[in-house]
Amino acid sequence: MIRPSHRALAFLACMAAFCGALHAQTDRTITIRMVDGRTGKLIQSQNYLARVDHQEVIHADWAVGNEDGTGKLVVPRGASLLSIRATYEGTTSYYDNCDSNKDQGAPVDRWYSIADILAKGIVAHNDCIGKKVPEKLQFYAKPGEFVFFVRKQNWREKFDEDYQSH
Per-residue pLDDT of the chain (166 residues; tens, 9 = 90+): 556 655 655 554 555 554 443 444 457 999 999 999 988 999 887 678 888 998 877 777 778 888 888 999 999 889 999 998 877 555 446 788 888 765 555 667 889 999 999 999 999 988 888 777 777 788 999 999 999 998 887 767 666 666 565 5
Residue whose C-alpha is closest to residue 74's, from 57, 55, 50: 50
Q: Report the C-alpha dihedral over residues 121, 147, 107, 47, rounded to 10 degrees.
A: 120
CB 32 within 8 A of CB 84: yes
